[in-house]
Amino acid sequence: MLSIIIVSWNIAPLVSDCLRSIPAGAGNLEYRVIVVDNASTDSTPERVAQDFPEVKLIRNSENAGFARANNQGIRSAEGSRYVLLLNGDTIVKAGALATMARFMDQHPGVGACGPRLVRPDGRPQPYAFGNDPTLPYIIARRAKQRLFRRDLHDWAASEVREVDWVSGACLMVRDRALQQVGLLDDNMFMYFEDNDWCLRIRKAGWKVCHNPMAEVIHLGGQSLAKNPSARQEYHRSLRYFYAKHYGPFFQRALDGLLALYSGTANA
């Protein structure tokens, strides 16, 4: 059983398209879908309830944030072999979820995996995966962008690779790994909860892999460039991540580098 958790907030047309794409993406997999709505003020929960009666809908009275809302869905997913976090602004390509689950079945040491995320025009989306956001990594990434106008990673890579984290836009986690490490850290309202989760999964002895054989279209990822409050939340979550995993010294060092840190949705 695959449990698919979708957090929605004022994205009625997008989440409808996402839900319609899931059957073809899942193929012959047995699955269920849980939508957690974060107090949308548009018609999102009403449209989900009306058009997708088979979906379990959890309605929040306030915006609980990405991590906490996903945790609500995960708690409702008992008995699942795999749990999938899926953004509501995604379109699952045919067979993508089946490919990810089959990969996990064939590689029992993998605790989490993510697909190739692509833009609507088919180009690979940056930051579908990466390394832990250590200070050397941040500096190296920013330097390559500034000096060579290139990213540190090859987002179009065609081979499965072991990575430090994969994006929470589409993140499949094995139930046994989940039982070991627990839920997402809901102290993070949004951003870096996927980095934190993947790091804890790796510390528990599991591998995290990026599998480009599965593709999912992601329509989002631009909020930081347009939304100052999102950028503030991004920096707050990054500082919390540092305090949690690296300690106060490195957190203070990070403060001096935030001006150099690329304004992207993940590390």
Task: Note whether residue 192 is domain-resident.
Answer: yes
CB 58 within 8 A of CB 76: yes
Task: Note whether residue 145 is domain-resident.
Answer: no
- The number of distinct structural domains making up the chain is 1
Task: Note whether residue 38 is domain-resident.
Answer: yes
Task: Note whether residue 267 is domain-resident.
Answer: no
For residue 193, the enclosing domain spans 2-134+153-221
Task: Note whether residue 184 is domain-resident.
Answer: yes
Task: Note whether residue 159 is domain-resident.
Answer: yes
pLDDT computed for residue 248 by the predictor: 77
Task: Note whether residue 101 is domain-resident.
Answer: yes
CATH of the domain at 77: 3.90.550.10
Q: Please list the pLDDT of the chain residue by residue as tens digits (267 residues).
A: 999 999 999 999 999 999 999 999 999 999 999 999 999 999 999 999 999 999 999 999 999 999 999 999 999 998 899 999 999 999 999 999 999 999 999 999 999 999 999 999 999 998 899 999 888 787 777 766 666 666 767 889 899 999 999 999 999 999 999 999 999 999 999 899 999 999 999 999 999 999 999 999 999 754 444 455 777 888 899 889 988 998 877 777 777 667 555 443 344
**Cα-trace Rg, the chain:** 18
pLDDT computed for residue 260 by the predictor: 52
What is the 3-state secondary structure of 194-254?
HHHHHHHHHHCCCEEEEEEEEEEEECCCCHHHHCHHHHHHHHHHHHHHHHHHCCHHHHHHH
Task: Note whether residue 182 is domain-resident.
Answer: yes
